[in-house]
Structures are given as C-alpha cells and as structure tokens.
Amino acid sequence: MKTTLFWSAVFCSTIAFAGPPPAKQEGIESNRYQWNAQQGEKLEALRLKGDIERGEEAYEICGACHLPSGAGRPDGTFPQLAGQHTTVLIKQMADIRAGMRDNPTMYPFAVSLTDPQELADVSAFIEHLCIPTTHGKYEGTDAAVQIAAGRKLYEQQCLECHGKNGEGDKKLFYPVIAGQHYQYLLRQMTEIRDGKRRNANPDMMKVIRPYTDAQLIAISAYQASLSMPGAMCAQKK
C-alpha cells in the first residue's frame, strides 16, 4: 500500500512539473530529418552499457502503465515492452523527449529519466524481461481467416525486416513485434500509414501506405499471433 501511494505521488509530481512537450521537430515527411538520426542523447545512450539493477529501479514509475512485468495492457492502450530491443526503446524514448514522436501520455515519464545513462539502464532492464505468453489478440469470429490473410501480407513485405517470428533486428532498430497486443499494432500501423507517426521508418511507410483498413486488420491479427522461441516466459505449471 505504501509503495502504491509513493508511486502515485511520483506520478502526480511528474505530471505537474514535466511541463509541455518540446516544440515539434520536423518529421521525416519533410525530408529534413533522418528517421533515426544518431545524435545527441540518443547517440550517447546507445553507446553506454545499461545497468539492469539500476534500470529496474528507474522502471518502477513505468510499471504503473506497462505493468511490472512489462506486459502492457491487452486492450492496446499501453504496449507490451518486455523483451524489446534496447536500441528501439532508446530511440523511442529519445524521440519523445526531443519532440520527434507525439505521445503526450508518455512524455512526462520519458522526461523524468535524468540522463542518457538512465535511458540505457531502463532499456537494459526492459530488454531482459521475458515476453508474456498471453496478450491481446484479434478476437473476431473470423480470426482464422484474418490471420491467414495477414500471414500472406507479412511474408510478402514484413518478414525481411521483422523476422519469421516477429523478432525484429536490434542492430537496425526494427522492433520485436512478437507478443505485442493486436489493438496496439493496429493503431500504430494506422498512424504510420496515415502519416501521424512522425518518427517512423520511411521504408515502412512506403510499404503500408497502400494498405486498406481491412489489410491492416489482417496483418495486425497475424502479427499478434506470433511467438518468439526462447524469449517467451516459461509456462506456469
């Protein structure tokens, strides 16, 4: 109870003193900003070795939304983070802090991290967490049909970057999508397609820009069905 009250107080203090997000930087659509420019605190954090123990302490404030396990919320309001590549985590947090990604909910927490070392620490802790075996999936009565259609699209245009099992590519900043919530995947891909995710990979934007809403539903359903061998949490007996 005391821990809950403590972090509630931290939450309120963070919101109160974080201030407004920084002015929006030019997005990739302007061709004046590389989608993953290696500079500033992002570059410094990427060069640092994260400390998992320090990262666990820094993550406590994140657990209020993303849960202590890093599982996020099955309804997709908060993404599943556990097992995500440190490179991806650092990029996203640094972009939010710099005004390159619009996320008013996350911004106060992202700016509460004190320096590049803490960015590296919390990212190292999150990456080491096992990916939950259960998460929000497509639950329509036509699930089998949607997943089959999504698999075809995925294998044609997504597999090369995100991998057979949704493992992504740490060196290239391609995120793990195995174990991610269906609703979150659908929302993010819709925003990328519609040009609302300003720090998105332009190559991905080109791929999904022609997708219809129905195709985005199908591919999100398939991606949410993926499991990554070796990184999933042990099944409870």
Domain shared by 43 and 100, yes or no: yes
The chain-wide mean pLDDT, for the chain, equals: 88
Please name the residue that has the structure tokens 């302007």.
Answer: 30
Whole-structure pTM value = 0.88
What range defines the domain where residue 149 resides?
A: 143-223
Do 43 and 147 sit in the same domain of this protein?
A: no
Split into its structural domains, the chain has a count of: 2
Q: What distances in angstroms separate CA 81 from CA 34, 106, 170, one per listed residue?
A: 25, 13, 14
Under the banding of pLDDT at 50, 70 and 90, the label for residue 47 is very high
Whether the pLDDT of residue 146 is over 70: the answer is yes
Q: Clarify whether residues 114 and 172 are in a common domain.
A: no
Q: What is the CB neighbour count within 10 angstroms for residue 23?
A: 6
Q: Quick one: how many helices (H) and strands (E) in the chain?
A: 12, 0
Q: How confident is the model at residue 39 (pLDDT cuts 50, 70, 90)?
A: confident
Torsion, Cα 8 5 78 139, to 10 degrees, reads -140
User: For position 32, what pLDDT does the model report?
Assistant: 41
End-of-domain residue from the set 128, 151, 184: 128
| Choice between 20 and 38, residue whose per-residue pLDDT is larger | 38
| Angle of the 116-128 helix axis to the 52-59 helix axis, nearest 10 | 90
Assign 78 to helix, strand or coil: coil
Domain for residue 100, yes or no?
Answer: yes
Please give the pLDDT value at position 30: 45
Instruction: Give the CATH number for residue 118.
Output: 1.10.760.10
